[in-house]
Amino acid sequence: MVSELHCPTCNIKISGQFDLCKFCKLSPEQRAFAEVFIKNRGNIREVEKELGISYPTVRGRLENLIKALGYPVSLEQGDAAAESSIARERKNIIDRLGRGELSPTEAARLLRNLTSK
């Protein structure tokens, strides 16, 4: 709850009880993700490219954002699809590492990004 608003230009202060909007209550990371998501018009592939993270990570962060805004997230299909997608992506990274297409450091970074939110 915000109890005071202040204008640094004219030095006016207003006291009271002010509610914050849903977006103001998000963490800085959630707000930054929301901004990138909106800027890219919800195109998950573009969000992947801009943030340098995998599809499952984008989906996970999006679901985290939806929950933080107070909306329900479907657990049946969404979680099963995300888990399956994460497993496929994890296997792909390990296969690429085995073929020498990725360095161990890059593979570790990609695997960490799979589960970060």
Phi, psi dihedral angles at 41 (to 5 degrees):
55, 35
Q: What is the 3-state secondary structure (H, E, C) of the chain?
A: CEEEEECCCCCCEEEEEECCCCHHHCCHHHHHHHHHHHHCCCCHHHHHHHHCCCHHHHHHHHHHHHHHCCCCCCCHHHHHHHHHHHHHHHHHHHHHHHCCCCCHHHHHHHHHHHHCC
Whether residue 22 contacts residue 70, with contact meaning beta carbons closer than 8 Å, is answered with yes
**Pairwise CA distance, residues 117 & 108, whole Å:** 16
pLDDT tens series, the chain, 117 aa: 788 889 999 999 999 988 888 888 899 999 999 999 999 999 999 999 999 999 889 999 999 999 999 998 775 545 565 666 778 888 888 888 889 998 999 988 888 887 654
pLDDT for the residue numbered 117: 42
pLDDT for the residue numbered 114: 76
